[in-house]
Amino acid sequence: MTDKNLLKIAQEFGTPTYVYEAESIKTQYQKLTDSFTKNTRFFYAAKSLTNINILKYIKSLGASLDCVSINEVKLGLRAGFTVDRILFTPNCVDFSEIEEAVALKVHVNIDNISILEQFGTKYGNSYPIFVRINPHIFAGGNYKISTGHIDSKFGISIHQLRHIERVMKSTNLCVNGLHMHTGSEIKDVDVFVQGLEILFEISEHFPYLKYLDMGSGFKVPYQDGDLETDVKSLGKKVEKVLSDFEKESGRNLELWFEPGKFLVSESGHFIVNSNVIKPTTATTFVGINSGFNHLIRPMFYDSYHKIENLSNPKGAERIYTVVGNICETDTFAWDRKLNEVREGDVLVFRNAGAYGFEMSSNFNSRLKPAEVLWLDGKAHLIRRRDEFEDLLRNQIEVL
């Protein structure tokens, strides 16, 4: 897909609009399948982007699905994933949500002792489960997306293994999978190997073990010079340690990963219009027709998104501060070099496929943007833009 295609989409569907390239998703998925050749499955982390068309497309590539809410599970089923290809990993949910997942017959992953006890008491060994372990490994590009450190709310501490064994023995609970996810934006592939070796060490406590799930956290490049997780190198290292483990233990375990951002981030282009150019004593603001109600990552995670001027790509470079139209500080970029921006120009935010639309809101009673899928050389509208009436949907007027 070219920048000219993006300009045509802006003209046809308006802005702000999220655009996703199907071929990019396919390319990223093939990187994984080419790099991990032995006994490995990939579960797309639905939380990255749950548009039903994206789910259906990723299913067609052969991936399975990782879900963190019961509604993501239901979306996966609606998209055509079979129950054996869905893993449900909730956090701090009511037990009724776990019961619903069991009724749907998907894989269930439990990450705290309380729910583990409730589950064992109700189901015993009739429904095998995964247990999520907190390995106390600090990893990831931002503290907010690091999930395996000692203060994380996720997983059962590796030092609580005795508690897990107690529940397994007293309730006859069957654990056939161990899960671990240390964070996002992981550059060092040895973090995964370190985590895998921890799971190897405790595997002897789980006689019915079939699966080891390493979560994900594969990094994608957001700006020039950024590194991407070397999945080919990781695949080789993982294959070796798995082979060594099989020889030593005699156990052949299937390895799972949960890529989300890695699959869809680079596929996404968020197109907007510049509303105003506002010079001040300190900077020149470019005010766009969007805000953190549409793309919150720069404000929430201090993340970087490359921004380009599609309308004036050969204009002289100038320095701008790009901001939104929300009544809060919604700065997308400080002192960013862009080709000269004029009022009405179409700009694009790159790498906007993951956690862009998915984290959007109607803050300030602003309308959510449209979504478009670029597939087989054509633009397909896959979510209409909000209209005013959408703001009132589900409200009940009593006055």
**pLDDT tens digits, one per residue of 98-149:** 999 999 999 999 999 999 999 999 999 999 999 999 988 644 444 444 444 4
Any idea which residues carry the catalytic annotation? 327
Q: Is 355 annotated as a binding residue?
A: yes
Instruction: Report pTM.
Output: 0.94
According to DSSP, the β-strands at 370-375 and 378-383 are antiparallel
**Residue 202, phi then psi, degrees to nearest 5:** -95, -5
Q: Are 170 and 123 in contact (CB under 8 A)?
A: no
366 is annotated as contributing to ligand binding: no
Residue 141 has what pLDDT? 45
CATH number of 7-12+268-352+369-385: 2.40.37.10
How many degrees, rounded to 5, is the angle at CA 127 between CA 126 and CA 133?
135
The pLDDT value given to residue 145: 40
The response to whether 384 counts as a known ligand-binding position is no
pLDDT for position 120: 97
Tens-digit pLDDT profile for residues 223-278: 888 888 889 999 999 999 999 999 999 999 999 999 999 999 999 999 999 999 99
Question: DSSP character for 218?
Answer: B
With a cut of 70, list the residues of the chain below it in pLDDT: 137-151, 183-187
d(CA 136, CA 66): 22
Q: Return the sign of the alpha-carbon dihedral for residues 46, 47, 49, 51.
A: positive
Ligand-binding annotation for 297, yes or no, is yes
Give the CATH architecture of domain 22-263: Alpha-Beta Barrel (3.20)
Q: Which helix (H) or strand (E) holds 9?
A: helix 3-13
pLDDT of residue 183: 65
The domain ranges of the chain are 7-12+268-352+369-385, 22-263
Give me the pLDDT at residue 150, please.
61
pLDDT in the model for residue 187: 66
pLDDT value for 147:
43
Known binding residue 217? Answer is yes
Q: What is the structure's pLDDT at 139?
A: 46
